[in-house]
Structure formats: C-alpha cells, structure tokens
Amino acid sequence: MTTTTPPAAARTATTRTRAPWRRVVAWVPAALVVAVAVLLWPTAWGGGTTLVVVAGESMAPTYASGDLVVARAGTAHVGDVVVYRPDGVDGYVVHRVVGGDATTGWTTRGDNNGWDDVWHPTAEDVVGVVRWHVPGLGAVTAVLASPTTWLALALVVAGWLVWPGRARPETEQPAQEVARDPHP
C-alpha cells in the first residue's frame, strides 16, 4: 500500500483556513485571565472583592486559622458571614451576622464564640459578604494582594497578546544537502 503526501500548496491552503480559528482559540486563555482579574479585583482599587486570611479559631468549625475567605461587596443578611473593619482596629473581622440591621448596626458573633461582638458594623463598615473559602490557602493572599503581582500579571498578558506569531512560509522547501569534500 502506497501513501502520497499532498502537495505543499494543498497543505498550506488547509493551514490558512484554520488560522483564524487558532487565533480565536489563542485569545481564550487571555479572556479567562481578564475575567478572573475582574472577579478578584480588590476593593482597595475600586473592585468588589476582599481577600482575608482567617486568624484565630473564633469561626471554627466553619473556617480555620489560615483559611482564605473571598468576600464580595453586597448586602448582608442575618445568617451571612461578613468581613468588616471595626473603628480603631487594624485588620478585618470575619464573623456571622446574628441580628440587627445595616442602618443601626449588625450584631455579629464568631461561630465558635458564646458571646456577641462588641462592635456593631453598619453597611458602610461591611466590606463584603463571604462567598467562597479555600482551606489553608492564606499564604497566597500576600502574593495576590501585592500591586507588583497584578502589574506583572498585566504585563505578561499584554506581552502574550502582542507577541508576534511564527511566520509560516507559503511553500515548504526541502532542505538542501551541502556536498562536503571528503579530503579537506
């Protein structure tokens, strides 16, 4: 059984018709990176996401120390776990809303505590409602919170998008052998 290879012109024509699809497929990873960046854009830069590492055991068994919680801006309700920054405290509190309201102040409590918090955060104090958590991933937060990380990510994506593709020859030429003198 003999097989034949199609002429170079036929192979090139087939490649040209697939090239636009390859370009579209090449943009998919970039679109995913942009979507994730928008989703995780920090509230400190005008976004709607706050990443917080849980410290302590007040939210056990729901969250353990070192867990990463992802809070998104939104309206809190009784039963939600919220992230808020009390006046005079350097850092965030991650506790469950057990009563109150957004205007006069929420009553919050850690799931592992038998007492309510002394603070009563209002809607302005709540930076987000916890939507997801990743057990033990708190160490990554320092990297994600760094402006340098976001700048580097943006530069990599921009460079990847503008990097020229490999030029493809119209026709493929067989490599020419160079005759060598056996007696130099």
Helix, strand, or coil (residue 182): coil
Decide if 183 is catalytic: no
Strand pairing category for 105-109 and 81-84: unpaired
From 67, 80, 117, 125, the catalytic residue: 117
Question: Could you please report the per-residue DSSP string of 135-171?
Answer: TT-THHHHHHT-HHHHHHHHHHHHHHHHSPPPP--SS
Does the N-terminal peptide bond of residue 184 adopt cis geometry, omega within 30 degrees of 0? no
Looking at residue 42, the DSSP 8-state letter turns out to be B
The half-sphere exposure of 77 on its side-chain side, counting CA atoms within 13 A, is 1
Instruction: Tell me if residue 95 is catalytic.
Output: yes
CA atoms of 65 and 55, how far apart (whole Å): 5
**Is residue 76 within 8 Å of residue 111, measured between CB atoms?**
no
Q: Which of 67, 80, 95, 133 is catalytic?
A: 95
Q: Which of 58, 80, 125, 133 is catalytic?
A: 58
Q: Which two tokens mark 151?
A: 């700048």
Residue 181 bears catalytic tag: no
Catalytically active residues, by annotation: 58, 95, 117
